[in-house]
């Protein structure tokens, strides 16, 4: 399944416009970044996109990547290989309940 989610677009765009909402970090892999932010920040459909203490892994659809390339390039620039291209972009999400945080990992293939 590949996603074309407005919910995920909206939170990523909010973080791009106001990076102070989240902590964005490299987690050891060249092509991956991790984004964590408070679960007090409103997100659409959290029960679906941010499952409690479980991972949800999906690939952004080609349409989503093409339509939102500037948004995704913003985040890709924070990886160790910022000019890798946007052939495939994978998203992993979770709600880390004990930390009271939402987590997004973006993987650029």
The full set of domain ranges for the chain reads: 2-108
According to DSSP, the residues that pair with 96 across neighbouring strands are 101
Say whether pLDDT at 1 is over 50. no
Q: What is the mean pLDDT of residues 85-96?
A: 94
Residue with tokens 């590949």, as numbered in its chain? 2
Say whether pLDDT at 56 is over 80. yes
- Residue 101 near residue 39 (C-beta atoms within 8 A): yes
Q: What is the mean pLDDT of residues 67-92?
A: 92
Say whether pLDDT at 18 is over 60. yes
Q: What are the backbone angles phi and psi of residue 88, rounded to the nearest 5°?
A: -140, 140
C-alpha–C-alpha distance, residues 94 and 23, integer Å:
15
The total of other beta-carbon atoms located within 10 Å of residue 23's CB is 12
The answer, as to whether pTM is greater than 0.85, is yes
Say whether pLDDT at 58 is over 50. yes
Q: Could you tell me the CA-to-CA distances from 102 to 61, 89, 95 in Å, in that order?
A: 22, 19, 4
C-alpha–C-alpha distance, residues 97 and 30, integer Å:
28
C-alpha–C-alpha distance, residues 27 and 20, integer Å:
19
């Amino acid at each position: 399944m590949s996603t074309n989610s407005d919910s995920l677009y909206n939170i990523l765009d909010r973080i791009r416009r106001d990076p102070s909402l989240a902590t964005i970090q490299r987690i050891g892999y060249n092509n991956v970044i991790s984004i964590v932010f408070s679960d007090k920040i409103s997100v659409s459909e959290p029960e679906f996109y941010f499952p409690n203490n479980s991972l949800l892994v999906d690939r952004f659809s080609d349409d989503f990547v093409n339509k939102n390339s500037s948004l995704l390039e913003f985040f890709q620039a924070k990886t160790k290989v910022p000019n890798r291209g946007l052939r495939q972009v994978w998203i992993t999400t979770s709600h880390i309940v004990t930390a009271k945080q939402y987590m997004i990992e973006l993987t650029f293939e």
